[in-house]
Amino acid sequence: MLPIGGTPLRRLITDAYMVQHPGVPERRAIQSVGVHLVGLYLVLERGIPPADLSNALQRVLARPPEWRWLDPPAPNGPLTMASLVTVLEQPGGALDDAIEAYVRGVWAAWSADHDQVAVWAQAAG
């Protein structure tokens, strides 16, 4: 099992992983990617504390926006979950730094869609 580190951004590991593995353009995958991208946006761009993210996403889902398929970027982030495992295998590996680099790298990979994600996030208030 991967220890999750002490950084508050550990809450976003799942969001980053899910948008790196978006599935195919069908309703559930479209909503899933949208919600996970909104989570990344709210914390990384709007500064919502990760501890408050679940409540904010519940507000989004209570009044869901018009989700649409976003073509995943290529590459879909410079790092992967395997990158975090590699850090653990190194003596003195800086897991918190690796988590931050992973999460921010995935969010940056989706930069072409940041404006759309911001529109979807408006449902969070």
pLDDT at 5 (0 to 100): 54
**Distance set, CA 1 to CA 4, 5, 66 (Å):** 9, 12, 36
pLDDT at 92 (0 to 100): 67
Helices 81-89 and 13-20, packing angle to 10 deg? 130
Q: Is residue 108 a contact partner of residue 37, using CB atoms and an 8 Å limit?
A: no
On the question of pLDDT at 41 being above 90, the answer is: yes
44-50 average pLDDT score:
94
89-116 average pLDDT score:
91
Handedness of CA 12, 18, 22, 28 (dihedral sign): negative
Task: Tell me the average pLDDT of the chain.
Answer: 91
pLDDT at 2 (0 to 100): 41
Q: For the segment 65-90, what is each residue's pLDDT rounded down to a tens digit?
A: 999 999 999 999 999 999 888 887 77
